Amino acid sequence: MTILEMFEKANLIMPIEQRRFFNYFDDSVNELIAMYDGFVIEKDIEYQPPTDLSDNNAVLPLYHNAIIDNILFLSGQNETYKGEFVRKSRQAFLKYWNDNAKGRRLKKRGEKNV
């Protein structure tokens, strides 16, 4: 989703000003980076907090719905949204982690990597 699409989704639940949205978006991304660093931002892109609805969204796609839930929680919605943020972000992380680990296997002692 683009930043604008995420803003629209959040506004469908409750109206929120742009500035607050960008602040909560940045808070959510930082929280994700703290939990799952290395599996949150698109490869080779440096994350910059958005300041405009037309800015590029550097966060990996599967985290987007989780971020929206956290934005709604931070905007005053109930704690269910926080729970959903934690659940969805965990699922997204596991998917990306598994995708990254495909084709690799653990080496046994003394065995060379084939």
Partner 1 sequence: MFNSGISVKNLVSELKQEVDIALPISNKSYVLWLNSLEHFLYTEFIQEQNKIIVDGTDDCIINLGDISMPDDEAAIRFEDIYTVFADTKQLIKSTVTSGNIFPNTFYKMDNNLAYNALFQPKEIRIIYFVKPKLKAVDENDNIEPGNVMLPIEFIDLVKAKLRGEAYKLSNEDSLAAKWLNDYNILLETFKAWLNGKQPNFGM
Query: In the complex, what is the shortest distance from the CB of residue 6 to partner 1, in angstroms, rounded to a whole number?
Result: 15
Question: What phi and psi values does residue 41 have, to the nearest 5 degrees?
Answer: -100, 145
Contacts with partner 1 by CB under 8 A lie at 11-12, 15-20, 51-54
- Least Å from the CB of residue 71 to partner 1: 15
Tell me whether residue 55 or residue 91 sits nearer to partner 1 (CB atom): 55
Please give the Cα distance from 14 to 72 (Å, whole number): 8
Q: Which two tokens stand for residue 64?
A: 């987007």
Q: How far is the CB of 70 from partner 1 (least distance, A)?
A: 20
Q: Hey, CA dihedral for 35, 38, 42, 47, is it positive or negative?
A: positive
Strands (E), 9-94: none
Closest to partner 1 by CB, 5 vs 42, is 5
Q: Which is nearer to partner 1, 30 or 51 (CB)?
A: 51
